Amino acid sequence: MPVRLPLLAILHPAARIGWQYFTVHWSTVTGIAALWGLYEWRARKQRSAATGGEPTGPSVAQRASFVGGLLVLFLALNGPLHDLSDYYLFSAHMVQHLVLTFFVPPLLLAGTPGWMLRPALRTPWVASLARRVTGARTAFVIFNVVIAAWHLPDLYNTAMAFHSVHVVQHLMFLVSATLMWWPLLSPLPELPRLPYPGQILYSFLMSIPMSLVAICVTLADHVLYPAYSAAPRLWGLTPLADQQLGGLIMWVPGGLFLTVVLSVVFFKWSAAGRDDRAGAQVNWRPTAQ
C-alpha cells in the first residue's frame, strides 16, 4: 500500500491522485534497503578480515556512487515520476526506463569494489555463468532482447494491467542493464572490461537496437498502449502525441547518452596511450571453498 507524503504541487493541479503528495511504495523501499544492507554487511566483513595492504572497505567515492545509485532508484520508483509513468503518460514511463537502465546500474557498479563480489566466484557454476552472461556479445543480446520484448504492445499492456508483471519488467530492466554495463565498468579482472577499442564499438552498436524500437514507437500511426488512452490528459498531450514524445525520448536522449559514453571511452583511451588498460585478461580459476 503506497504512502503519500505532503509535497508542494509541482506537476499538474488537476491530476486526480494529486501531485501535492509524494507516493512511497514500501516494496521498493524494502528492496533498496536490502541492497544497502548487503553492501554494508560485505563492507563490515572486509574491515574485520583485511590484513596488510588489503582495502578495509569501499572508498568514499565508491560508497557515494553506490548510495547515489540507490537514491536515484528510489526516486525513479516512487513519487511523481512513478505516478506519472503508471497513471498518466507513456513519455514519463520512457524517462523512468532510461533512468533505470542508464543511470542506476552504472552508479551501482562504479560503487561496488571487486573484492565485494569475488567470494561469489568461488562457486564453480556461479563463476561459469558469470563469465557467460557478462561477456560483451551475451550482454548485448540479453539487454536488447529484454528492451525490445517489453515494448511489444502485448507484453507492455500486460505489465500496465498487472502490478506483479510490472515489477518483473522493472527487475528485468535493472538486471539486463547491469549486464549491459559490465563490459564497460566491470570491477573484477576475473570478468574483465573490454579493451578501449572494443568499448567504443560496443557503445556504438548498443545505440542501434534501442533506436530501432524507438523509431517504431515514434512513427506508429495509432496508439500502441491503450492504458494511456483512458488516462486523464496532462499538458494538452493527446495519447498519440504522448506516445510519439515517448519514442523520441528513447531515441534522442538515449542515443545521445551512449554517444557521450563512447566519447568518454575514446578520451580515456587517448589518455592511456594503450589498448589493454581497460580489459586486461588474467589467469584465474575458481578456488575450492
Mean pLDDT of 168-189: 97
**pLDDT at position 12, please?**
43
Q: What are 165-170's contacts with CB under 8 Å, separation 24+?
A: 166/86, 167/27, 170/77, 170/100
**pLDDT at position 276, please?**
53
Asked if 109 contacts 178 with a C-beta cutoff of 8 angstroms, the reply is yes
Q: What are 166-172's contacts with CB under 8 Å, separation 24+?
A: 166/86, 167/27, 170/77, 170/100, 172/146
DSSP state letters, 187-210 = S-TTSPPPPHHHHHHHHHHHHHHH
Task: Establish how many alpha carbons lie within 13 A of residue 148's alpha carbon, considering only the half-sphere containing its beta carbon.
Answer: 16
Query: What cell was used for 286?
Result: 575458481
**pLDDT at position 289, please?**
33
Query: What cell was used for 34?
Result: 536490502
Query: Locate cell 540479453: which residue?
Result: 142
**pLDDT at position 103, please?**
97
Please report which confidence band the pLDDT of residue 249 belongs to, taking 50, 70 and 90 as the band edges.
very high
φ, ψ for residue 190, nearest 5 deg:
-65, -30
Query: What cell was used for 126?
Result: 556461479
In the chain, the largest separation of any two C-alpha atoms, in whole Å, equals: 65
Give tens-digit pLDDT for 126-147. 999 999 999 999 999 999 999 9
Q: What is the mean pLDDT of the chain?
A: 87
**pLDDT at position 20, please?**
57
**pLDDT at position 183, please?**
97
CB 182: neighbour CB atoms within 10 A?
A: 24
Query: Locate cell 587517448: which residue?
Result: 270
**pLDDT at position 14, please?**
42
Pairing of strands 21-24, 3-6: antiparallel
